[in-house]
Amino acid sequence: DGGITQSPKYLFRKEGQNVTLSCEQNLNHDAMYWYRQDPGQGLRLIYYSQIVNDFQKGDIAEGYSVSREKKESFPLTVTSAQKNPTAFYLCASSIRGSAGELFFGEGSRLTVL
């Protein structure tokens, strides 16, 4: 089955630690995205990538980093510089130029202890 796989589903981190969230897709989509959802908030764009080896900052990129070495993979690192990292993180992909019809993964919930 084609889809997007995010791991881990739940992650706990101590303050000051970096953590990496995995996102893999087998939909052959060019574009991939990372969003963050907080309670009562919409989805806010962290980073996106339209093509391998290229990515752009979204609206709330500070404290995050990404890489896009393979078409299928778009990992997100939450660094210690991110002041409020506790959130639900969603990875998505789309056909490039699809005007926004995104396919989302199941999400990863990060909790900072």
Partner 1 sequence: DQQVKQNSPSLSVQEGRISILNCDYTNSMFDYFLWYKKYPAEGPTFLISISSIKDKNEDGRFTVFLNKSAKHLSLHIVPSQPGDSAVYFCAASYGRGAGSYQLTFGKGTKLSVIP
- Compute the least distance from the CB of residue 74 to partner 1, in Å: 14
Interface residues with partner 1 (CB under 8 A) are 4, 6, 31, 35, 40-45, 48, 50, 58, 88, 90, 92, 94, 96-107, 109
Distance CA 3, CA 26 (A): 6
> Residue 37: which residues within 8 A CB-CB, separation 6 or more?
43, 44, 87, 88, 89, 90, 107
Q: Is the Cβ of residue 65 or residue 103 nearer to partner 1 in the bound state? A: 103
Beta strands in 38-97 (DSSP E): 43-51, 54-57, 64-66, 76-78, 87-94
User: Considering the complex, what minimum distance in angstroms separates the CB of residue 84 from partner 1?
Assistant: 17
- Minimum CB–partner distance for residue 49 and partner 1 (Å): 10
Q: How far is the CB of 80 from partner 1 (least distance, A)?
A: 26
Q: How many helices (H) and strands (E) does the chain have?
A: 0, 11
Q: Please tell me whether residue 42 adopts helix, strand or coil conformation.
A: coil
